[in-house]
């Protein structure tokens, strides 16, 4: 086994000058394990991926069962395969009737790219309205509708006809007009530091889209799959989007995303032009098997019923005067501190003592936590003890 830092630093493309640099040999439940027996609480779920924990037995079995049958056999949309069929049917049963058709892709950002294309194709319009401080992915289209100028400037020109409004700003909704193909927003902003809208705000957004004919896209790549205490965050606000995008935790650890909309809207991508959207590996049967098993685990183990209780426990335990502000919905947390430097000290102290916490790319003065939904009360108490000590000594 090669856990060489030289290999990692010299032969794997970097994403930052300061990678986390811990070696991982295996993972199980809420824990990551190093080659020397090191153990870490994964209190960020691999950045929102491992909602049912690492290597959940039911998910692993589903993957192995599918591997024994077949892997990739054809590009998306041509062959009838049992597992993608079952996954699409399951999603339709869990969502409102207007979200009855899924297009499976390979990641969250690809789901957003597809959603932007669908909105333009269906409406015949070109303008996209997004939110300031939003994060929708790093591919060109998704980056274009993300509200982080620092990340975007080096890659311009990006998509034209993109306008930004303030998230939760009712006055800005007038920027949504008959020229707008879509409004794309995270139901709960993740990378901005867990920004939670009111029901009244999302209702007003929905009404404005209805009035202007703009499609409403909810990006639930981070906040979906039970993270907020309901399977999809929009359920808590009583507002249904025209297009829903999911990813990250959807695959239970394997790469898969989905764009979901009404069948009559989705079918416009099949003509004029033919193959209006296409992907080679979208709907990969192994990834679909993992995603279906993940949904089954959430349901069978009644994980949604425990999210709020666990979230409240963590809130109670992580109470310290150095915390400037805290935002939480379900098991999705942001703890604000007086500086990004303090957050980094907390992250490093936690890592040194076996707990993985993180920061937010667009909000570095906030400490990020989002543990697996499967975490137990005892594990919460043990991990929070380490985190509280790191805060105290930061």
Residues in the chain: 394
Give the C-alpha separation, 249 to 232, whole Å. 12
Question: To 10 degrees, the CA torsion angle through 352, 358, 359, 361?
Answer: 120
What's the chain's average pLDDT? 97
pLDDT band for position 360 (50/70/90)?
very high
Q: Is 358 helix (H, G, I), strand (E, B) or coil?
A: strand
Starting at the edge strand found earlier in the chain, the sheet holding 180-186 runs 101-105, 257-261, 243-246, 215-219, 180-186, 127-131, 162-165
The full DSSP string for 266-335 is HGGGGSSSTTSS--SSTT-HHHHHHHHHHHHHHHHTTTHHHHHHHHHHHHHHS--TT--EEEEETTEEEE
pLDDT one-digit tens code per residue, 120-137: 999 999 999 999 999 999
Give the span between the Cα atoms of 107 and 125, in whole angstroms.
25
pLDDT at 259: 98
* C-beta of residue 357 within 8 angstroms of C-beta of residue 383: no
Q: pTM higher than 0.95 for the full model?
A: yes
What pLDDT is recorded for position 190? Answer: 97
Report the C-alpha gap between 318 and 334 in whole angstroms.
Answer: 11
Task: Give me the residues paired with residue 343 across strands.
Answer: none
pLDDT in tens, 53-109: 999 999 999 999 999 999 999 999 999 999 999 999 999 999 999 999 999 999 999
Say which DSSP state 214 is in.
Answer: P
pLDDT of 361 higher than 90: no
Q: Nearest 10 degrees: CA dihedral of 315, 135, 339, 391?
A: 30
Residues 6+ apart with CB under 8 A from 216: 182, 183, 205, 206, 209, 241, 242, 243
What is the mean predicted confidence (pLDDT) over 216-236?
Answer: 98
Residue-range domains of the chain with CATH: 5-55+302-392 (3.90.1150.10), 58-300 (3.40.640.10)
pLDDT digits (tens, 9 = 90+) for 262-315: 999 999 999 999 999 999 999 999 999 999 999 999 999 999 999 999 999 999
């Amino acid at each position: 086994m090669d856990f060489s830092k030289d290999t990692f630093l010299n032969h794997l493309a970097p994403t930052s000058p300061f990678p986390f640099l811990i070696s991982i040999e295996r993972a199980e439940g809420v824990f990551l394990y190093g080659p020397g027996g090191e153990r870490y609480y994964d209190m960020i779920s691999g950045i929102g991926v491992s909602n049912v924990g690492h290597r959940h037995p039911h998910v692993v079995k589903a993957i192995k069962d599918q591997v024994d049958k077949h892997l990739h056999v054809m590009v998306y949309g041509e062959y009838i395969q049992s597992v993608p069929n079952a996954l699409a049917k399951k999603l339709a049963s869990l969502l409102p009737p207007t979200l009855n058709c899924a297009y499976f892709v390979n990641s969250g950002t690809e789901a957003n790219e597809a959603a932007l294309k669908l909105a333009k194709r269906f409406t015949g319009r070109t303008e996209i309205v997004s939110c300031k401080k939003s994060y929708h992915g790093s591919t060109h289209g998704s980056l274009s509708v993300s509200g982080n100028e620092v990340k975007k400037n080096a890659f311009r020109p990006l998509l034209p006809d993109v306008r930004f409004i303030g998230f939760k700003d009712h006055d800005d909704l007038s920027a949504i007009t008959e020229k707008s193909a879509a409004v794309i927003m995270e139901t709960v902003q993740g990378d901005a530091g867990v920004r939670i809208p009111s029901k009244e705000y999302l209702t007003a957004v929905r009404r404005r889209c209805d009035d202007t004919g703009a499609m409403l896209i909810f990006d639930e790549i981070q906040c979906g799959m039970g993270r907020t205490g309901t399977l999809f965050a929009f359920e808590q606000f009583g507002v249904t989007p025209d297009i829903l995008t999911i990813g990250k935790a959807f695959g239970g650890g394997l790469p898969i995303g989905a764009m979901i909309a009404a069948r009559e809207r989705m079918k416009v991508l099949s003509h004029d032009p033919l193959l209006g959207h296409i992907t080679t590996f979208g709907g990969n049967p192994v990834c679909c098997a993992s995603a279906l098993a993940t949904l089954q685990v959430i349901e069978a183990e009644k994980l949604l019923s425990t999210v709020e209780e666990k979230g409240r426990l963590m809130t109670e335990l992580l109470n310290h005067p150095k915390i400037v502000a805290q935002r939480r919905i379900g098991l999705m947390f942001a703890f604000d501190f007086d500086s990004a430097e303090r957050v980094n000290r907390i992250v490093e102290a936690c890592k040194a003592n076996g707990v993985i916490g993180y920061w937010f790319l667009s909000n570095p003065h906030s400490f990020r936590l989002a543990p697996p939904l499967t975490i137990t009360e005892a594990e919460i108490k043990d991990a929070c003890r380490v985190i509280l000590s790191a805060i105290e000594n930061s």
